[in-house]
Structure 1
Amino acid sequence: MGNANSNDNWMVHFRDTMRGGKFLNHFRMAELHAKESPDRIWELEVWGALFDRTKEGKISQRNFGGHEYPRLAHVGDRTGLELIRTMQQKIVALQ
C-alpha cells in the first residue's frame, strides 16, 4: 500500500518478513504475502471491512513486528474481530 512511506515496496516487506521470522519462513509464502498484502487489504475493504483512516482518507498503517515501515492496516485495537466479522459476512453471502 505504501500509505505511510513511498519507499516501502514488496521487496522491503519481504525482507522484513524473512528477518522477523529469523529466516525460518517458507520463502514462497513470505514472498506471496509481501506481494499480495495490499490487494488483500483492498479486497477485505470491498467485502466490508472498516479500517481506520488517516486525515487524508487513506487506510491508516502502523508499525508492527519490527518492520522498517508502518504497514499494518488496523481497526483500532479490534482488527482481528473486524476481520472475522467481514469474512463471516462474506461466507454467508456466498452460500
Structure 2
Amino acid sequence: MKKRRAGATETFGISLDPETKQFLREEADRKYQGNVSALITELAKEAKRQAAFERAWKWYGGPEPTPEESAAIRAEWAEGWTLASKAKKSRRKKAA
C-alpha cells in the first residue's frame, strides 16, 4: 500500500445522519470522481470565504446581508469573473 506524504492530510471522524452521508457521497461522485475528501475540502474553502466576507462586512459597518443580497453579490462576482476570463482569452488571441 502506498504511504501518504507526511503532513499532507489528516484523518478524523465525523458523525452524520444517513441522508447527509448519502448526499455527500452523491455530490462527490458527481463532482470529484467519488472523492468525498475533495468535496469536504471545497466546502471548507467556501466556509472560509463566507467567514472572510462576514468579517469584512462587519468591518464595513453595515448589517449582515440577507440571503438574497448575498446571492446578488455572488452573482455579480461571478459575472465579473466571466467577463475577466473572456477579456483574457481575447487578449491571448490578439497577441498570437
Higher-Rg structure is 2
**TM-score under structure 2 normalisation?**
0.31
Higher strand proportion (structure 1 or 2): 1
Higher helix proportion (structure 1 or 2): 2
Higher relative contact order (CA 8 A, sep 6+): 1
